[in-house]
Structure 1
Amino acid sequence: MNTEIARRVIDAGSTIPKRMTGVVLVGHGGFDKIEYRDDLPVPELAGEEVLIRVAAAGINNTDINTRIGWYSKGVKSGTGAGASEGCETSRNADASWSGTPMTFPRIQGADCCGHIVAVGNGVDPTRIGERVIVRNMLRSYVDYRPMECWTFGSECDGAFAQYAKAPSRETYKVECDWSDVDLASIPCAYSTAEGMLHRAGVGTGDHVVITGASGGVGSAAIQLAKRRGATVTAIVGLSKADQVRGFGADRVVPRGESLVGHLGRDGVDVVIDVTAGPSFPELLDILKRGGRYAVAGAIAGPIVELDVRTLYLKDLSFFGCTFQDDVVFENLVSYIERGEIRPLVGRSYPLKNIIEAQQEFLSKGFSGKLVLTLPE
């Protein structure tokens, strides 16, 4: 770290170390590809970047998907199939979400909450000390080209370490009374959910069906859809029905039961889907003519049966949702600061227990988000 940047520290009496503790992914595969280390170099800042002392970092499906190589087109199963050992049919050449080879070792972690402790050239030094979250879909590194982005913790190092760097313009100060763990639950899950609702144009009076409703994205989507004035039906395991009602769901359909049997045909305005898999055909059956289907995950399986006649005869609109318009993350920050949404954290773990945390994540025995806390 150059001397100009090193002088810009949060406390004039403190220094930024050269080494830090963190977790690195050393390749695609099982839990054996995760290494907890205390000798990682602290990130060097370029111009227009900030250095963040990470306080907490959420766990997301994308962490698991990337580790096991699930994004590769060679994988046909749901995300649970190779979650512990990796996916045997994965190909390294296309095993990242962007379809390009991963660079290892990589510090994962798309969700970051922490404090700015140093700034690069061109960044206002008064930003030092701000409590911030980082937009997980970064556009600065691709020069804001349309429909392009990097994922924090995938194409660049992320938040599973004591320090992380990020573009200043995509690092957002948040003023609220939430804990660091609460704020770390927001970036990936809530921006994914808000991006889907934004893309599908969800508004007052819409009937929205949300799959995977007890998970991070699903539970966020319930809150955010209700905030937009929609009526929400949540699809979830029966044991979690009361929990998702607590998140704001108006109605619950137990996972595995017939959606048409519960909701009838042609009555739903929007489907927000993160599961895909065998239930996909019924998701289209329940949509009304002119209905909208938005998808940002396939935890139950990426290969689905599509009757194209259903798509065109019902004039349905399909939205694949990865890239996010700038307004999506900006809106989330405003919702937090105005008290319009609340965090839904299931449990937190110290970073050193990341494998245990991922095992619980994969068990799906919790609701909301799991968050890792960083060592002081």
Structure 2
Amino acid sequence: MGVPDVMRAVRVTRHGGPEVLELAEVAVPAPQAGEVLVRVGAVALNNTDLWTREGAYGSPDDPEALSGWRGPIDFPRIQGADVAGRVAAVGTGVREDLVGRRVVVDPAIYETTGLDAHPVGLMGSERDGGYAAYVTAPVERVHDVTESPLTDDQLATLPTAYGTALGMIERGRLRAGETALVSGASGGVGLALVQIARARGARVLAISSGSKTEAVRAAGAHDVVDRAGGIPAQVRASAPEGVDVVLDVVAGELVGEGLPLLREGGRWVIAGALGGYDVAFDVRRLYLHNAQVIGSSMHTPAHFGLLMDLARRAEVQPVVAAVFPLDRAAQAQEELSRREHVGKIVMHP
């Protein structure tokens, strides 16, 4: 089947609420040299979608400035970082036999070409993303997962959530036999952290609450701490010798309250600020115990390669909470913002 000239896409037209999302007919992008065109089978939603739309990232000089993931956004912008689909066409210099292959797109825009490069941009923020029927991507960012038993919906959940989780676990040097504490464990990144840490052979404590507790246990948590019940005391009761690595997407007051929970040489890895970005802690708990606080933004190309190996072998089982059609993108983002679900929300173009 040929590639059409136009497609439906959802674009963000300015910073604001769900009302700034518009469904439009736009030209199908042509793959440039070294690029492929992917027909989107599924696109997953992330908190990044909400914060980019809202302009909530701030800037180094002004925490309250309206900003995308790494700076000002060029509007209109097609959102959507997480894409699974099939290669529909290739640009010059790209192998023709990739056409028809089932792929996952690494959404990161990297600072350099090395395997350990850090992301400095993101598909759906710094370039157009997958809230559309088609999206282009550099061929080196496209990973063949044709043989994976995972569905397109499951594969689409992987890039940002599981990529972020694997980046945190790698940067935190989590090893088999260590104890890991996961905050925000019922969210997309949180469930990914639980699954991957358990697969690594760690003892996993997870922070969650209410009806979500059983889903977090099912994902692999050895014990679940109720976030409404005094977290430090519960963690001490479950892990009296302390925690080796905290995998944190919440931050806020949790950092100051929880830092004394780290064992000697412990690592606190932060990849989000759901609980607030203004953090205070007793620095003595850091230097007297050779502890580390580590910032982790997504993944490196090497991390993403490891993630795709997990996907091909189905060693992780992503949880899909809900599926929406593309023309209900605003409702899908509102559902995401309520944080009442467990797992990931996916759209079908």
TM range (shorter): over 0.9
CA gap of 1:301–1:75, structure 2 versus 1, over 3 A, is farther
Q: 1:194 aligns with which of 166, 171, 174?
A: 166
Answering whether residue 4 of structure 2 is matched by residue 24 of structure 1, we say no
Q: With structure 2 as the length reference, what TM-score do the two structures score?
A: 0.94
2-side partners of 1:161 and 1:66: how far apart? 17
2-side partners of 1:55 and 1:91: how far apart? 35
TM-superposed deviation, 1:285 = 1.7
Answering whether residue 38 of structure 2 is matched by residue 63 of structure 1, we say no
Q: 1:40 aligns with which of 14, 18, 26?
A: 26
Q: CA RMSD in A?
A: 1.8
1-side partners of 2:34 and 2:98: how far apart? 12
- Determine if contact 2:57/2:65 at 8 Å carries over to the other structure: no
| Aligned residue identity for 1:180 | D
- Determine if contact 1:149/1:323 at 8 Å carries over to the other structure: no
Answering whether residue 136 of structure 2 is matched by residue 165 of structure 1, we say yes
- Range with greater deviation from structure 2 (174-183 or 284-293): 174-183
Answering whether residue 65 of structure 2 is matched by residue 91 of structure 1, we say yes
- Range with greater deviation from structure 2 (20-29 or 278-287): 278-287
Answering whether residue 272 of structure 2 is matched by residue 297 of structure 1, we say yes
CA gap of 1:75–1:221, structure 2 versus 1, over 3 A, is farther
Answering whether residue 306 of structure 2 is matched by residue 334 of structure 1, we say no
CA gap of 1:55–1:236, structure 2 versus 1, over 3 A, is same
TM-superposed deviation, 1:143 = 4.7
Number of equivalent positions:
344
Gaps of 5+ in 1: 1-13, 77-88
2-side partners of 1:272 and 1:373: how far apart? 31
Please give the per-residue CA displacement for 1:300-334, whole angstroms capped at 9, x wherever unaligned. Answer: 11111122222212211121111522221111111
SS at match of 2:164: helix
TM-superposed deviation, 1:181 = 1.0
- Determine if contact 1:112/1:134 at 8 Å carries over to the other structure: yes
Answering whether residue 297 of structure 2 is matched by residue 322 of structure 1, we say yes
Q: 1:206 aligns with which of 178, 193, 199?
A: 178
SS at match of 1:112: strand
Please give the per-residue CA displacement for 1:85-120, whole angstroms capped at 9, x wherever unaligned. Answer: xxxx8424xx1221x211111011010011101000
Where in structure 2 are the equivalents of 1:68-83 lying within 5 Å?
68-73=54-59
Report the counterpart of residue 244 of structure 1 in structure 2. 216
| Aligned residue identity for 2:340 | G
CA gap of 1:363–1:163, structure 2 versus 1, over 3 A, is same
